[in-house]
Structure 1
Amino acid sequence: MGVVPAAADDEVVRTEGGLLRGIAQDDVRTFRGIPYAAPPERWRSPRPAPPWSGVRDASQFADSCAQGEHPVGVPSTSEDCLYLDVTTPARTGKNRPVVVWIHGGSFKHGATSLYGPNRFAAQGDVVVVQVQYRLGAFGFLASPLLGSGSGNYGLEDQQAALRWVRRNAAAFGGDPRNVTLMGESAGAYSVCDHLASPTAAGLFDRAIIQSGPCAQEYSAMNYAAPRPRAVAFDYGRQLAADLECATAACLRAVPANRLLAATEPDEFGPALGGPVLPRHPAEALRLGKVNPVPVLHGINHDEESGRYGAQEVFGAPITQAAYEAAIRDTFGSDADRILTEYADVQPAGRALATVMTDSQWSTPAARTNRLLSSRMPTYAVEFAGDAPWYAGAPKPDWPVGSHHLSDVAYFFDLKVFDPPQQRYADELIRHWATFARTGTTPWPRTTPRDQTVQSLTPTGTARTNFTEDHRIPFWQSLER
């Protein structure tokens, strides 16, 4: 990022590092590529960003963190990526709520440039901060060679950004004492991890968790949930062997493109144990070892319909035989009971999406609602109804509803909506901004015994029986 001459205008602000010049965009001012930490040393904790002289140009996005090709990613080999963007309403104001957005992408992909926050900031009258953090092996490699607490550098980056927000939010008209941490998918799992992290204590005041249940246990399907340290270390040992490295120095010297190539097929996520994440968020909630703040928590009604709907239109159609084989492969001895329970759901593609949604998302979400509401003010929601589909792609023959990632389009400038969806997006932004401002919603506060959640659809909101709709008792019976 370059340095430009100083000027007296509304696009220049003073931060702890120096002056920044952003850009005016419609109803907002935007400041991009702001360093919240120094260029990181590989597999070391983030360090403070050095100050600069003059006025720093904050009109361009920083490089994305090192990652491969992906529909929700920006390919890069850069490790100098610990930057954030700030979008604030153009009209004069101060002490606005601050919403810190942690992007998803399976802890392997994503960048701030993918999410347009203008509408959220302007309509919600909030300051939106978007954070980049180290991804994949660069952010989440745990290895005995790197130390017993290794593996959570990406979470440490996020916490460094939150500390920066506490110190600098006022420069952008934000209230540093009112910070909401918001994330979707891997970003939501990150929020859960910060609720359980001793090193995140006091860094945020509210939490919004979208499609990342805190009670989700790690598995081959749920690879973004925190993994046992033994599992993470086994992977780290194998990677070191594949790279012919016997020391941390050797690992740190591997070129970024080679490390990306070696790890691109693999999955990553936070590792349990160590000072940043000593225990699973579900265990932390059960024990009361959490950072209690008001929480807005929800998933999409049809999380897996995007995956299997896309398979229907871009790959091989899901036949009844393929559906039954997938259920048997995933659930083993429970397969016959599951096939009988969901015999009323047709066709096969929709049945497979429904089974996977209810088992992998809805059941841990119900458990999460119970755990969260036992420790802190909690508002449980579900995105439902007809959500935007992938631009330019045909839809399958069965209704896809609200699938994974579709909720993000309502808050960020990713989609042109039809009129009902536009009204819905405007309403959601109002509700999310109200929660960021007050820590409350107009809907009933969740209790540990609740079976209902607030269903949010383009045609209106209402209480819905989440437990019954997603057959939670059936899935609980399989766990006994």
Structure 2
Amino acid sequence: MADVRAMVAALAGALALTLPLAAPPPSSAAPVVHTLAGAVRGAARDGYRVFDGVPYAAPPVGALRWTPPRPAAAWSGVREATEPGAACAQPAGEVPGGSTSEDCLYLNVTAPAGASAGRPRPVIVWLHGGGFTSGTGSSYDAHRMARDGDVVVVTVNYRLGALGFLGRPGLAGSGTFGLADQQAALRYVRDNIRGFGGDPRNVTLAGESAGSYAVCAQLASPAAAGLFQRAIMESGPCTGGPARPFAPYAVAPEAAEAAGARFVAAVGCAKAADVPGCLRRVPVARLLAAQGADAQPEYGTRLLPRDPAEALASGRTARVPVLVGANHDEGTIWAAGIMAAGTTVTPANWPEVAGEFVPDPDRAAEVVSAYPVGDTDGGPVFGAVIGDADYACPTLRTGSLFAARGRTWRYEFADPDPPRPLPAPPPFPLGATHTTELPYLFDLGGRPREMTAAQQHLAGTMIGYWTRFARSGDPNGGGAPRWSRSQVQSLAPDRSGPVRPGPGHHCALWATMP
């Protein structure tokens, strides 16, 4: 399963991201901003300004490996902020060639040209996805969102994999180093963003996939209280699904420590007299080779006292406005990866495949009945099962729990043919699968979007919704189709509008699964 997860993660990364192109030329004099640590010089573009590679914490290297983030050291003079910082250590995949850098706690700021300390704009802090093992903030070019939505966007690197989420007794902050990095970035925004033209009192924390799970965790973390005023969650429901074949959810201390013990043994430190010291001497490449395909934050910790799902169900998350949703065909990318690894789905073997997927094999017949497979549609049907079980239905549950306590807006991205720069065609049409909403909000990997006129219009509509929500907690306005809090807003070219929650997703079935 881990090999399949790694392969699918790489496929999903290719679906979302490509190699970067050269940055556009500067349009005027380079802007300089004074932060608490020192001055940074960015670049002015057409209608916006960019500051890349701004350090928000000290490099977690040497003795600081597996410690909570420390403040970045101050500097004299003006620091150049025109190149992104290194991606946090990760295997090859979304980041071509991977990374072995631990000096990676940097953020990137994109601000509209008119933003200033005297006229501050709302701030969106973006947490990238990637199963908590891959990704980097610099993959998300936010200039359209910043310029067209008139907001300041901050994209963040945070520690990944074992370096970010190792659960191990004796390590202060065990299991939550990556989450602590995110909070350090939020504190940096609180203390410095006004100089970039952002409003530190109007911050929206947003993320997709693992980034969305991280938003859930921050909503449940007492240490994050007051660091953001709104939340956007894309394709990462707080409540989880019954099958959870790939999803990086938070885990209990016992499971985190058991996984940590296996990792420590794998890197040769289990019998060391000083296990933390031994771990800090292991080369990064060896750490990456020993870690799993997914990482999972640990709850029952000081930073994350409760499972985010339990915290939401019991009303113990931050009371902020929430915009939450998923894509109509989330699971097709996972089904394609499983089939590429050798699994076939036919009418004859569908009961067996379903039995291996559902948590209670005795109920496989119910899944087969609800999702019948024909001679040619095995992949899409399997994708529908994965998508409903782990995304669509848990997202509706997450949205309902938030709506019972505060202002909540729910969406479903439903473009049946979104742009997808895959290196090779998938085995079947993927539809609006996992990550495909991202090009409507960002230019990914530095490449401009290739869209039809209707898709460009939808992208503008979505940026308008997201940034109006960041401004006021209400996405409505700007002449866009009305978004009702009592329904789900379907987002598709030429037909965006409210729909009844859950049609076609068989959520009544999945609600009864253990």
Q: Deviations over 1:47-82 (max 9, x none)?
A: 111111000010111111011111356611111110
Name the amino acid aligned to 2:59.
P
Q: Structure 1 residue 233: deviation in Å?
A: 0.7
Instruction: Give yes or no for contact 1:313–1:395 (8 Å, CA) kept in 2.
Output: no
Task: State the distance in 2 between where 1:318 and 1:223 align.
Answer: 22
TM-score (norm 1): 0.92
Paired residue for 1:308? 335
Name the amino acid aligned to 2:151.
V
Task: Compare 70-79 and 221-230 and name the one that shifted more.
Answer: 70-79
Describe how 1:141-180 pairs up with structure 2 within 5 A.
141-147=166-172, 150-180=174-204
3-state DSSP of counterpart to 1:365:
helix
Aligned match for 1:255, one of 270, 275, 283: 283
Task: State the distance in 2 between where 1:398 and 1:238 align.
Answer: 38
3-state DSSP of counterpart to 1:144:
coil
Paired residue for 2:369? 340
Q: Is the alpha carbon distance of 1:462 and 1:191 closer, same or farther for their aligned partners in structure 2, counting shifts above 3 Å?
A: same
Q: Structure 1 residue 344: deviation in Å?
A: 6.8
Name the amino acid aligned to 1:303.
E
Paired residue for 2:380? 350
Paired residue for 1:192? 216
Aligned match for 1:224, one of 248, 251, 257: 248
Task: State the distance in 2 between where 1:297 and 1:74 align.
Answer: 33
Paired residue for 1:4? none
Q: Is the alpha carbon distance of 1:177 and 1:395 closer, same or farther for their aligned partners in structure 2, counting shifts above 3 Å?
A: same
Q: Is the alpha carbon distance of 1:19 and 1:106 closer, same or farther for their aligned partners in structure 2, counting shifts above 3 Å?
A: same
TM-score (norm 2): 0.86
Q: Structure 1 residue 474: deviation in Å?
A: 1.9
Paired residue for 1:52? 75
Instruction: Give yes or no for contact 2:267–2:286 (8 Å, CA) kept in 1.
Output: no
Task: State the distance in 1 between where 2:450 and 2:344 align.
Answer: 28
Describe how 1:8-23 pairs up with structure 2 within 5 A.
9=29, 11-23=31-43
Residue identity over aligned pairs, in percent, reads: 44
Paired residue for 1:238? 262
Paired residue for 1:87? 110
The reply on whether 1:125 has 2:154 as its aligned counterpart is no
Q: CA RMSD in A?
A: 2.2
Q: Is the alpha carbon distance of 1:219 and 1:309 closer, same or farther for their aligned partners in structure 2, counting shifts above 3 Å?
A: closer
Task: State the distance in 2 between where 1:121 and 1:141 align.
Answer: 35
Q: Is the alpha carbon distance of 1:359 and 1:42 closer, same or farther for their aligned partners in structure 2, counting shifts above 3 Å?
A: same
Q: Is the alpha carbon distance of 1:316 and 1:419 closer, same or farther for their aligned partners in structure 2, counting shifts above 3 Å?
A: farther
Task: Compare 217-226 and 172-181 and name the one that shifted more.
Answer: 217-226
Name the amino acid aligned to 1:356.
I
3-state DSSP of counterpart to 1:437:
helix
Instruction: Give yes or no for contact 1:87–1:128 (8 Å, CA) kept in 2.
Output: yes
Paired residue for 1:270? 297
Q: Structure 1 residue 269: deviation in Å?
A: 1.5
Q: Is the alpha carbon distance of 1:73 and 1:164 closer, same or farther for their aligned partners in structure 2, counting shifts above 3 Å?
A: farther
Task: Compare 344-353 and 415-424 and name the one that shifted more.
Answer: 344-353
Aligned match for 1:213, one of 227, 231, 237: 237
3-state DSSP of counterpart to 1:232:
helix
Q: Is the alpha carbon distance of 1:478 and 1:105 closer, same or farther for their aligned partners in structure 2, counting shifts above 3 Å?
A: closer
Paired residue for 1:475? 510
Instruction: Give yes or no for contact 1:73–1:110 (8 Å, CA) kept in 2.
Output: no
Task: State the distance in 2 between where 1:131 and 1:203 align.
Answer: 15
Name the amino acid aligned to 2:283.
P
Instruction: Give yes or no for contact 1:309–1:395 (8 Å, CA) kept in 2.
Output: no
Instruction: Give yes or no for contact 2:419–2:450 (8 Å, CA) kept in 1.
Output: no
Q: Please list every run of 5 or more consecutive structure 1 residues that lacks an aligned counterpart in the other structure.
A: 1-7
Aligned match for 2:228, one of 204, 208, 213: 204
Q: Is the alpha carbon distance of 1:308 and 1:393 closer, same or farther for their aligned partners in structure 2, counting shifts above 3 Å?
A: farther
Aligned match for 1:421, one of 445, 448, 455: 455
Q: Deviations over 1:252-303 (max 9, x none)?
A: 111111111111x432121111111111122212332221111000011110
Task: State the distance in 2 between where 1:283 and 1:193 align.
Answer: 11
Instruction: Give yes or no for contact 2:483–2:498 (8 Å, CA) kept in 1.
Output: no
Q: Is the alpha carbon distance of 1:15 and 1:138 closer, same or farther for their aligned partners in structure 2, counting shifts above 3 Å?
A: same
The reply on whether 1:290 has 2:321 as its aligned counterpart is no
Paired residue for 1:3? none
The reply on whether 1:401 has 2:431 as its aligned counterpart is yes
Task: State the distance in 2 between where 1:83 and 1:74 align.
Answer: 20
3-state DSSP of counterpart to 2:39:
strand
